[in-house]
Chains A and B, each alone.
Chain A
Amino acid sequence: MSWSAPDDIFFSTSLAAYLDKKLLVLLRDGRKLMGLLRSFDQFANAVLEEAYERVIVGDLYCDIPLGLYIIRGENVVLIGELDIEKEELPAQMVQVSEAEIKRAQKAEKEAMLLKGTMRKRMEFLDLD
């Protein structure tokens, strides 16, 4: 794999343009990681410095610090450049502690399970 010339950074699909920038990385398991891109390769493996996971449940969110991360490229869905002049999140969202967001996640999971079982019970009605 040849190294692109400096000008190519701006026109190609390489992640070089994102180096040292604060990014949002979406993973296949739905996690949202944020941090500074320090390194990458042709598989979209990435090194994120000062990484944290932003957990969002409804209008609550929490940033859980992770430190230095190497992400295997096969898990990467999207790498987004955050516009520093724009708000990262809608105004109504509230930052909470890690304990509280974990509680909210558990409650959401249970609500989903309940929704699932209720739907199963209604299936015999053949409404759809």
Chain B
Amino acid sequence: MLFFSYFKDLVGQEVTVELKNDLAIRGTLHSVDQYLNIKLENTRVVDQDKYPHMLSVRNCFIRGSVVRYVQLPPDGVDVDLLHDAARREARGG
């Protein structure tokens, strides 16, 4: 639940999602759900020449199970807030 809440607060930010198949997609975080499935808008693929089939894709749904990383802007993260939330979850859960 912690990261679901965290990602909900990140909606609207530019992120880069790196998938387990090495595809990396940059876009605006549109929405997230309990499985950490991600919907991105205004997407651009990082290495466009390698993935010609993605040329006209502007919005996409990414299954949570295939995400390796979600790269965030450094000022987009309140690390202390996350740290506190983690401690609270650890105590409660």
Q: Which A residues lie at the B interface, using CB under 8 A?
A: 11-15, 18, 24, 26, 28, 30, 32, 44, 54, 56, 73-74, 76-84, 86-90, 93
Contacts and interface: CB of A to CB of B under 8 A. Distances in A.
Given A12-B33, A13-B31, A30-B21, A82 B57 contact: yes
A89 B53 contact: yes
A73 B52 contact: no
Given A11-B31, A30-B21, A44 B55 contact: no
Contact of A83 (B52, B56, B65): B56
A79 B52 contact: no
Main secondary structure of the interface of A (DSSP, over half): mixed
Q: Which of B25, B53, B59, B60 neighbours the largest number of chain A CB atoms within 10 Å of its CB?
A: B53
A27 to B, nearest CB: 10
A84 B30 CA distance: 20
